[in-house]
Chains A and B, each alone.
Chain A
């Protein structure tokens, strides 16, 4: 009972903080907004990499599909700003999910490292295609419609929409991991042949997981494209070397295969990166590279995984009894 009250208090406190943050620290609103984006990146990556055991290096594809789909809809629909953005974002999510389902037919049949390598080309190929396709602006990219309001209002708008998306992603996955669908994902991760021999529909399961991951990433792409204001095929939409790699790192840093790990990993990574950018200008990429190596060497289990090893009682991995 006491635990439950403390939990409600913590949730309420965190909620208030999220609502108040842009007003308490207005100079950092954009950084906070990107933090929400990073949380979506890490959570959706971990659904595949951590829970299902399929390390995808191509998830950036779905982000880019969402960004382009939304921008095209905004350009051609003739609707008002908010309507076009809302429908465009939904369209981006659905198209990204459909792309995952289609690609999954082929690629999800690959196991282990072969899957990882198979996905590696996805983002690169998409960047090349978008960069040569006039319908989406080819190499010069796409601009999005201007926000109908003041600059401060624009910052707040994107802060809150991305916060809502991160929360929706988090709550969806929290629910999912409490169902037997979540257990089935873990079963495939631990021994896919056994899962198949026990009669599980592993192919459908994997496709469903990838599509769900892609759905949230597609929406995040739609919103991020509008937040950034300009969609470059290689540096924004299909930015495999930055966003694409960060997704993986943040999930590993926080703890693969846990609900909170990716959230913690995204926060630590994003803040560290901002600090590097501020204090190590010119060397920030070197520092980031070293950080990445340090993460993999010293935190192979991630922050949560390490804590769990040290304090198994407090961070035990008990699945909820349904």
Chain B
């Protein structure tokens, strides 16, 4: 299967390992991955701020590049390691006009968030990963509530060698990022992160795992400011890991 990869702008610039891990996992599962470097951002930050004039050209750019890959580039699907960007392409249908709206519809239908793609489309649970450590999963809001992703990442994580997945009772609460919200109302935003972190601290975990780089930036930023030992890890980073199970075996 030939996959067009949409790397989120934040991940491209600030978490390249997660993007590379996404590619490794997909290739491990037998996919051929292409990355069209004309892509930049899905346009969501401006769209969520209500600034359609600013969002439209950026969103249109991403839609055209991806549509090109599925209509002419021979790609069977689009995969993105972010539920948030995947959800944005659905909004793009209403945001764009004419042929671009039609392209947005094709793109939205072809787009899958990584865990959803692996489990639902490829029916792969075990991707050969090993990662020793205790983790909890954070359900990113758009993945959970707009795409209905809940069991997929958990099943993938449970199949990872050496990994101990614990459920957090606040797993589905927002981390407080919310794009411009995080800088417009910083106190509310970090308070929301604290609501989760207070509980995470009681679970004895090494890392909080999420499928969105933006949630991770928020949670890690707050965890570090609080002096916590918990770190943030992207799902793809774990699925691509082949770490020796020294701790789990000892």
A binds B: no
